[in-house]
Chains A and B, each alone.
Chain A
Amino acid sequence: MTVTDNPTGGIIGQARLRKEDPALLTGEAKFMDDLVLPGALWVNCVRSPHAHATIDNIDTTAALAVEGVTAVYTGADLAEDWAGPLPCAWPVTDDMKSPDYWPVAQGKVCHVGDIVAVVVADSRYVAADGAEGVVVDYSLLPAVISIEDAESDQVVIHEGLGTNVSYEWPLIPDPEGVEAAFANATHHVTETYVHQRLIPAPMEPRGVAAVPAPHNGDMILYSSTQIPHILKVMAALTVGIPEHKMRVIAPAVGGGFGCKLGVYPEEILCLALAVRHGVPVRWTEGRTEAATATIQGRAQRQTIELAADENGKLLAVRATLLADMGAYFQLITPGVPLLGAFLFHGLYDVPLYSFTCKSVFTNLTPTDAYRGAGRPEATYAIERAMDVLALAVGVEPDEIRSLNFIPTEKFPYDSPAGLVFDSGDYQPALDRAKELINWEERRAEQAERQAAGSKMHLGLGISTYVEMCGLAPSRVLASLNYGAGGWESATVRILPTCKIQVVTGATPHGQGHETAWSMIVADRLGVDPDDVEVLHSDTAISPLGLDTYGSRSLSVGGTAIWMATERVVEKASLIAAHMLEANADDLELTNGVFNVKGTPGAEVPLAEVAFAAFTAHDLPEGLEPNLQAEVTWDPPNFTFPFGAHIALVEIDEETGEVEIIDYAAVDDCGNQVNPMIVEGQVHGGIVQGIGQALWEEAIYDEDGQCRSTNLGDYLVPSAAETIDMKLDYTVTPSPTNPLGVKGIGEAGTIASTPAVMNAVVDALRHLGVTEMAMPASPMRVRRSIENAQGGAV
């Protein structure tokens, strides 16, 4: 790894072990279901077994007869408990069609898993018993399952909207130019890809508890959420609890991957029921329940067209999406495709660009953000299409990419979609990835096997990617109609004994914020990172924040921490100057000691300054007696991490099984605060993306029943199918923040899916296979081979 422009001295850049680990390794950490809440009532949700039906009658008699059941509520019973429907924060167009989404269905159900009644009981087992006793009569309606059926409007799910089409969102800066480019192109590639629905499946399912204080009106909402701050505002508005009386706490959160970036019915329900009953009300999701109760990811059909000249130089890219919103809008459902809208030309220098997205409702679980959210979809389309273009031109897949990379000298690069890519240097990453995978030798081995008539086929697949993360400049979000900003907040506080408290609004759920934030602060102050405590995930302690998603925490939240630290140092230097009878401008802070530049011996430790700030006996005139600073940072731009991944797969022609043999990843996330954490993010991201390529799919039948509701049927990768990956990095700092960082949380997932799928097609191309849908299961692989060879083989 080449480190350039590291802004600091010492601690930043070290592979430092995580301070989060001891609590998690010993069972000391408290996850949602671990909380002990005396007197709490348990909720069990009665969910629709049908995708589309009217509710004719709900008989709660048997449920209420169960000993220990306190109450049973239907949608009608609770209709007056809501100040409004569940919120959608991203009305992407002014005329977007948006159905009311109530915590408990009223009159009809729109997907399997829709809540039709809730049972409240004195234990989780009794609540489940009660739910068994709720009898619901339904009249079935035809279910709209495919996006094509949805688009046809033959059955309209939300009658009041008059159509299943929610919105159309075009981004076509130069329509005539695009048309002309395609008219004049030597090569015109048209590809259609489907992103199957994915179940996010963090290892901890969701969970909620609402703890009321009926007499003073306070309400604490505990939730396994990525977004306590956003949840506080939204839940207050939805239930009608004054925001200043609401406190949201995210305990230890066992992964999120986007699916805990919501305002869910169960959160709102527990709040309303806690108000009704005046005691704590809690709910813990079951895994099977989660399959249809928690949002799903991806779910779109893409058509991508490339116009290129005779050498394969791109002239224009046109992407057309049909996106499946599911039955309702969750918090940012409509905006997810837009997070990819700017990136369908990938990291290639393309003068002309066209993107259109049409979104439809179906009778399936709502979709929303899932690791990468929009960017994996965009990357998949362009990266698979680039392989097809390479084939059309007659060059290798690495050559077509190198030919089209945005030249390094063009940065900052004005993209055809209207973004400014901050920095990039793409070729070295690809060169290094080829080296790690032994590209030439593997190509030769592949050819040998083919020549020998082997039934074990090798395939090499490249994916080069750029993503936009560091969500996000608030003004850009405004232009996209997003209902909030993209800033992040930090407070840095030096305590009297020179221990440090850091308060962050970026809410972790496994990433290692406590370790990374401590390193940033310790690096600047010259203290031990173990002397820094990071406080988070509780809106009473960290009132300002916009939480964690979109690889934003370091580049936005980390920058806020850096700036707040700088500000504290500035103030401390005024006190130190006073103590040293020197000019603050002449001081520097090195290894925790202020010294007067050029005057050896004229120094005072930060610890003494901290204590002086506390006693306030002799501070400079007019200086407030504290050493703390709060910064809210609104980034001027996104950041644009990039990289090159190459997968080597082996496919058994007889069984259709795809095995990953080797994997090389070269990522560039700018400067790294903790390379160990970066590596972990890349590992996990890659495997999650491979999961989409080879194994994962929320399988629905024609009635809208999910057939992959548990972890036996929904194939989250295990250790047995995965391999050790080869990682390396290039370092191209971002010029948009003082740390020069970009973000790495989603890169692996964005890159690996197309790398693996390109490898699968590469392995089978000599058999005539040109297309492959995801996941590339043994059955799909066998069918593709059979189809290519004109029937059974």
Chain B
Amino acid sequence: MFEARLIQGSVLKKMIDAIKDIVTDINLDCSSTGISVQAMDSGHVCLVLIELGSDGFEPYRCDRNITLGLGLKALSVVVRCANNDDSITIKAQEGTDNINFVFESPNGEKTSQFEIKLMDIDSEHLGIPDTEYDSVVKMPSHEFQRICRDMSQLGDSIVVACTKDGIQFSASGDMGSGKINLRQSSLVDKEEDQINIELNDPVHLTFALRYLNYFTKATPLSPTVTLSLKAESPLCVTYPIGDFGSMKFFLAPKIDDEDTAAATQE
């Protein structure tokens, strides 16, 4: 028996909106500690990792580890039927091949029940190593979304360069080129508006904007986003989900000409 109730049902809606353009099916791996999802896009270029701790649910019950395979299309249709302030309960009985969603309005006057058939999804689990990143940048998520959107007007890829002076995003194309510099902020009113750069080593990496623009669909999930960069390694874009979980996107860097290769060696 698996049962998990998410008070803020809107979180689930936002999560699904964030990934539905990247992946088509997901496996919810449920254990006593929480729910995790690992999925790749069809081209196996990027990886989505969702981790939700059991403490984010009230109640949370998972008698034994269970994997629930779901088609995102169906899930998206169902979850769209929930109001933003509804609570969402996910239930799965052992031995059945259905998953149940129950939406309850805050005043308890309205409850809706939906059932989706489970899928048998061939899952390939990747082992994500614990990485010590060269640069970790925390910034407002809407700022990152804006930068990716603006830069994609100029070119297909974005160069992210992190030095002690700050982080620079640049793109160029037939039309011209552009650069955006962000410096570590010293005084801000709100913590979430802060730009914080932890730098062990300067990095210089190029990424496909197409995928970053998919990732930034997760912006409504969190006011802040963290970019973790390491030379020759995939970028990790992390959106925290409340204080009980996170949504992470991993994207391999583009391998550039020697200039970039040399720069990353520095």
On whether the two chains bind one another, the answer is no
Q: Taking beta carbons and an 8 Å cutoff, which residues of A are in contact with B?
A: none
Residues of chain B at the chain A interface (Cβ within 8 Å): none
